[in-house]
Amino acid sequence: MNDLVAPPVVAEAAAPPHIGRRVVRPNARRLTEGRGTYVDDVELPRMAHVVYLRSPHAHARVVSVDVTAAHAMPGVIAIVDGARLAQVCAPFVGTLSHMVGMRSAPQYAIAIDRACWQGEAVLAIVADTRALAEDAVETIVVEWEPLPAVADMETALAPQTPVIHAELGSNLCYHRELDTGGVDAAFAGADVVVEETYVFGRHTGVTMEPRSVLADFNPAERRLTVHHSHQAPHMMADLYARQLGLPEADVRVICRDVGGSFGIKVHAYADDFATVALAVLLKRPVKFVADRLESFVTDIHAREHRVKARLALTREGRMLAFDIDDLTGIGPYSMFPRTSVVEGNQVVNITGGPYNHPEYRAKLDVVFQNKVQTSQYRGVGHPVACAVTEGIVDLAAVRMGIDPLELRRRNVMEDDSYPRKGASGIVLEKLSHQQCLAKLETMIDYPALRQEQAELRKKGIYRGIGIAVLIELTNPGAAFYGVGGARIAAQEGATVRLDPTGVVHCAVGVGEQGQGTETIFAQIAADEVGLPLAAVRIITGDTAVTPYGGGTWASRGAGIGGEAVLQASRQLRTNILALAAAHLKRDAGELDVADGKVRDRATQATLVDFAELGRIAYFRPDLLPQGFQSELVVTRHYSQRTYPFVFTNGVQASYVEVDIETGFVKLLKHWAVEDCGRVINPLLLDEQIRGAIVQGIGGALFEECLYDGSGLLRNGSMADYLVPMASEMPDIEVAHVETPTRTSELGAKGAGEAGTAGAPAAVMNAINDALAPFDVRVTAQPFTPEKILRALNKI
């Protein structure tokens, strides 16, 4: 090859843009071949395994521990208690300063003297293998003194109930009230008032890959590397550094393949700190992989809310005011560092969110109890808020004899009324409720469905149609955590680099847990730099090499991370053009980029490709003009600062059949119309929405962590805790309305959680619609056959 300008070749048609196309995930092939790498697949020299001895009681004092026999068991390396670990790892408190008045107690990596929930670790047993560690645990004798447990959240604040943390004075973690001022007047003047109480059982994420952490401490250089199944690697690196007193620069967190996360893996668990502290203490790698039984008693749970709701309307069906009272139980400690009050807080912010009512009042009590900690799990408060809102709207529709779709049409915020505020004070950039409702109506052929329902009802077949309008907060700024003092990045960065072979590498702080994050970043980079997707490589999940970022939560990956990729890629394109101009001795304005090649803007003729430019820039800069320096690495950051959050909206419909003899609910079909702004990859997006809907359905119909009165979990195994299976799930049709956000050039909003937000409400409304001829309703999730039969007075 010579170093002269390549002769122009025939003009080529530009490749179609990648953004908006159903691009298949290039990084998924290895997963189909079983060649992924999850934490448990990583093996390191001298690696030890830890098993935690966990409290069998909801609340108990450790009177004595006898480990003599365990120490003599083969392969046992160390047995460490909470007091010893506390010398290495500081305790932590899960509070945020902007949640005014919230309190929690210090939590230790391993409990000292007292366990506050069934499943809390009180001892670490480290051995050569997990099996040997488990053998040793069997020989340990612990004498427990059971203490009275706070199980029922309804009585957690009652004077006779014991206080879990004496220093806090009560079991109240957080209380909030919101009042627009005219609620009582609105109810007094209303033509129609409906009132109902909604109950939400506790459930949990059940990621197929359990929580896993492999901590590797090198005492010679005092550097810590943690292989983690996690959504927020930079947050964890910061926390490990702080709690263990290491410089953050010497802590590296690596997240390779993550086997499902859904918010379960966005928290800092006591087990994580304990495992890392053990690696520091023992000066060798220590691996912890939760087994399924301990997942149920240590992974965060979510929901467990009781919401009393009232809605006031005029006789024309115009909504005047919502009034809610939410009580939620969160376990003995607020989760670190995101806290356990965000879900309740979201219920307050979001209830009534799609509608035009002027008045709103909400009261929230977050209480401690001796159960597993609850915290942010997919949807965070939205499934609760949406079910309360849409449930009571349906109740009003029934009472007033107005079609439920029509009642919503009369009250949703008009598509041309934005930007605006909701009654709770939330700021909404631009939503599309009217368009979405119209689209849904056509999609499900509503009149035909109603007719089918009516005809079948005559034959004793009870089907129901349930509708749920929703809003979802995505693309958060610092409003969530940063303003409350948590060191959780609200911005995201991307570094793109052109290498000498003409391939673009792009490193991003937001990682992949299967959503397709890396694929959409590659699509954005391909379009914005101007090269084929096959010539893009994405790097995520390693704090040593990616720009500092917040990670995956609050549906921010595409919107925040994607915009950083877009901005960095645009600048790289400009820099490539500058290099080409210097090399070709042309004006950069005369040049254009497409498909990995620089072309003449006027003739569209290819002038030079990226590989040739890379070769020159890296190996033959002597050929470039004096004074020109190529810059083929670009970093750009993005944070969304226009609004606290960028809201999305959508509407879902569920069609069910209820067997009134058995109480079984058959899901016949589910539809979703979703507006998440600009659609980057419909193939991945639709499956995100479907997966989220199925998780929402799980909570509505099957999933519940069942506790007895003494705070013990009765169904903590995968055989006993029911998750949705293929045969029970319906086909799910997804459609889109696209209202791009103007807060970024990409225009994408989040999409990963809206499915979970709307599905429980849609299913609940469908069941109640099916039960309407019997004039009964169910409002306590999950809607088990037993609850339905009870409502029907059959048992």
Partner 1 sequence: MTDKVLTRITVNGVLHERWVEPRQHLVDYLRDELGLKGTRSGCEHGVCGACTVRIDGDIVRGCLTLAVQADGARVETIEGVSDSGEIADLQHAFLESNALQCGFCTPGMLLTADALLKSEPAASREQIREHMSGNYCRCTGYHAIVDAVESTRETRRLAGCGGDRHE
Cis preceding-peptide flag for 337 (omega within 30 of 0): yes
> In this complex, which beta carbon is closest to ligand FES, that of residue 228 or of residue 430?
228
Q: How far is the CB of 713 from ligand FES (least distance, A)?
A: 19
Taking each continuous run of H as one helix and of E as one strand, the counts in the chain are 19, 29
Residues 73-132 that bind partner 1 (CB under 8 A): 74, 129, 131
> In this complex, which beta carbon is closest to ligand FES, that of residue 182 or of residue 260?
260
514 near ligand FES (CB under 6 A): yes
Q: How far is the CB of 700 from ligand FES (least distance, A)?
A: 20
Which of ligand FES, partner 1, none does residue 694 bind to, with CB < 5 to 8 Å depending on kind?
partner 1
513, 575, 606, 784: which one binds partner 1 (CB under 8 A) = 513
CB under 8 A: which stretch of 484-492, 537-545, 628-636, 687-695 binds partner 1?
687-695
DSSP-derived secondary structure for 77-123: EEEEEHHHHHTTS--B----TTSTT-----B-SS--SEE-STT-EEE
- In terms of DSSP H, where are the helices of 283-432? 292-298, 342-350, 382-400, 404-411
Tell how strand 114-115 and strand 60-66 pair up. antiparallel
CB under 8 A: which stretch of 83-91, 110-118, 393-401, 684-692 binds partner 1?
684-692
135, 343, 365, 527: which one binds partner 1 (CB under 8 A) = 135
26, 75, 260, 740: which one binds ligand FES (CB under 6 A) = 260
- Residues 288-327, one symbol each (x = binds partner 1 by CB under 8 A, - = not), give ---xx-----------------------------------
Q: Is 443 exposed, middle or buried (0-12, 13-18, 19+ CB in 10 A)?
A: middle
Which of partner 1, ligand FES, none does residue 397 bind to, with CB < 5 to 8 Å depending on kind?
none
Calpha distance 94→338 (Å, rounded): 7
Q: Which amino acid is at 148?
A: P
Residues 6 or more apart whose CB falls under 8 angstroms from that of 145 comprise 60, 61, 62, 63
> In this complex, which beta carbon is closest to partner 1, that of residue 48 or of residue 579?
48
Calpha distance 345→176 (Å, rounded): 8
Q: How far is the CB of 730 from partner 1 (least distance, A)?
A: 8
Residue with tokens 């050929």: 623
Which of ligand FES, partner 1, none does residue 719 bind to, with CB < 5 to 8 Å depending on kind?
partner 1
Q: Which two tokens stand for residue 491?
A: 């911005």
Tell how strand 427-428 and strand 646-658 pair up. unpaired
> In this complex, which beta carbon is closest to ligand FES, that of residue 119 or of residue 210?
210
729 near partner 1 (CB under 8 A): yes
33 near partner 1 (CB under 8 A): yes
31, 402, 578, 611: which one binds partner 1 (CB under 8 A) = 31
208, 249, 534, 706: which one binds ligand FES (CB under 6 A) = 208
205 near partner 1 (CB under 8 A): yes
Nearest C-alpha neighbor of 199 from the set 387, 451, 331: 387
Tell how strand 121-127 and strand 76-81 pair up. antiparallel
97, 314, 662, 717: which one binds partner 1 (CB under 8 A) = 717
Q: Which residue is nearest to ligand FES (CB)?
A: 208
Residue 379 to residues 363, 586, 755, Cα–Cα distance (Å): 20, 53, 8
Nearest C-alpha neighbor of 356 from the set 404, 418, 307: 418
172, 683, 772, 792: which one binds partner 1 (CB under 8 A) = 683
Ramachandran angles phi, psi of 77, nearest 5°: -100, -45
Q: What is the contact surface with ligand FES in residues (CB under 6 A)?
A: 208, 260, 514
Which residues are near partner 1 by CB under 8 A? 24-25, 28-29, 31-38, 40-41, 74, 129, 131, 135, 205-210, 257-262, 291-292, 513-516, 683-684, 687-688, 690-695, 717-719, 723-729, 731-732
